[in-house]
Structure 1
Amino acid sequence: MTPAISMFNPVEADLQLLAENLKQLVGNRHPILFTAAEHLFGAGGKRIRPAIVLLISRATMLEQDITPRHRRLAEITEMIHTASLVHDDVVDESEMRRGVPTVHSLFGNRIAILAGDFLFAQSSWYLANLDNLEVVKLLSEVIMDLATGEIQQGMNRFDASISVETYLKKSYYKTASLIANSSKAAGLLSEVSLETAEHLYNYGRHLGLAFQIVDDILDFTSTEDTLGKPVGSDLKSGNFTAPVLFALKEKPYLEVLIEREFAQEGDLEQALGLIQDSQGVQQARELAAQHAKSAAEHLAVLPPSESHQALMNMTEYVLSRLY
């Protein structure tokens, strides 16, 4: 299956430029924040979100080159994503991210929270300078959604009664909203029709949900080295994802372990065993595949091009991470 990096061939030069620009956008007025940003943007990551923005920009601007506003939107998208990761790591008390120490483990919680706030504020300022009210509204909604998703996740800890629909709504807020709204925003900057813009939004929404479901499956099927965090860490912290919610319908004793918050020795290992012994992971795989398929269907509105094909490949790549 196509690795993410080779899929980005149509926008490889654009992503190179983006990597150089990101550090400059933060500016060096605040040495510690600049050091934190340099650490973040230098930590690698696949740059999937800005790549999607750039691919949609190119797929909708076939007759001409993409504009500086398209490029800036991709940079804003990565800044918002990075800001959310900094805050997530503080909330989750994560020591590592992408194989490198997290900002808060290096600089402390106070600096990490301020660095995240600074990146959100900076991205909002660049967003306003795009001078497109509709795009400002879309990306401002993303920042609200990220906070809503984090609050919802915190309030639902160790709640075995949450539905798959509630889980998907939280996954939309935390992951899919940014991909969906930035995809639509890229189309609006290309002046596509409102109907096409809506298809681009739905491509991003379904792709983002598939991404999150796959991430949640990997929390049970991958290794600590690959994940960069302990296997089952979401389960341990009381954040119940698709494999758990499906397994609960099949393994009632799982609820007993959850109710006592894995307080007794061996509870967590027993819970992981019950999930592995159920159809939970398989049903979650099927759910991810449904969303990836829906994402691909929404691309039918775009004319054939190398960038269009790369966006299609992305829907297959999401699922390929499971195998």
Structure 2
Amino acid sequence: MPNLKAIRKRITSVKATQKITRAMKMVAGARLNRAQQRILALRPYALKTQEVLQSVADSMREHAEDEAAKVDPHDPDELFHPLLEYRPEKKVLYVVMTGDRGLCGGFNANVNKATDRERKERESGERAAEAEFVTIGRKGREYLQRRGATVAQDFPGLYDGLNLEKARQVTHFIVSNFENGTYDAVYLVYNEFKSAISQKTTVDQLLPIPKSSEKADKNDKNDKNDKSDALKAEFLYEPNPRALLERLVPMYMDISIYRALLETQAGFFGAQMTAMDAATRNAKDVIARLSLAYNRARQAAITTELMEIIGGAEALKE
């Protein structure tokens, strides 16, 4: 027969856990609202900055190819910016963004798995290259350290009071090491915020600044190219293309890192709120099952006692 005292103790424990998960859900929900507002406000600006920069860079690349002219870094009218330079990927840097805490479902695990998959492909695949990592978030750092990966730099506590200045700390490290040739390419690995219950694990090329992507569908691709060509024909560069790139590229880098950090932060709060909501509902179900088991055990104990009393009374009559 189940121990009534043990069941009561278990019910009390689960109720205490339910209070904690309910409070964490409310806190995560409040933080999610603020984080969601910030990323939804920044995302259109970040995407438009990327679109303009890629369009200008593509236009200049095509012009250089058409003219078959060698890029002269001292000519202000030529396309030249070190962050646009493509070179063989012998050493690659991955910027891995996870949360500092757990209790958020598969949020951190999804980024860690994607990072590990990229690392293994770099080590043994066709794109064989040495991979190093920059970690933002304790969970990603601990995961990579346990697997013996090379963590070149860690940025702890970046999500506390997150702003553009903190994002520039990461940008400075990345840009300086790419320009001096330490790394040949830089990729971002993070969770893109879709909704409170949905985050998409994303691996984006950050450096060198990628060319504009094309649609898989041929008709859509042709329409896009026609519109893009028409748009490129209207560009006027003042004072010159190089000066424009020198202004656009740092802006693009800062905004890209800042956007990825905000995406990660909003995604973490959404995942945590969803996980704590599920935990609260599970605790309610557990309490209901334990209460039913407690009532049944109590009723069985009462029935047994009654049977013993009745049996004793009958024995006395005899």
Same fold (TM over 0.5): no
More strand by share: 2
Name the TM-score, length of structure 1 as normaliser.
0.26
Higher relative contact order (CA 8 A, sep 6+): 2
Please say which structure displays the higher CA radius of gyration.
Answer: 2
More helix by share: 1
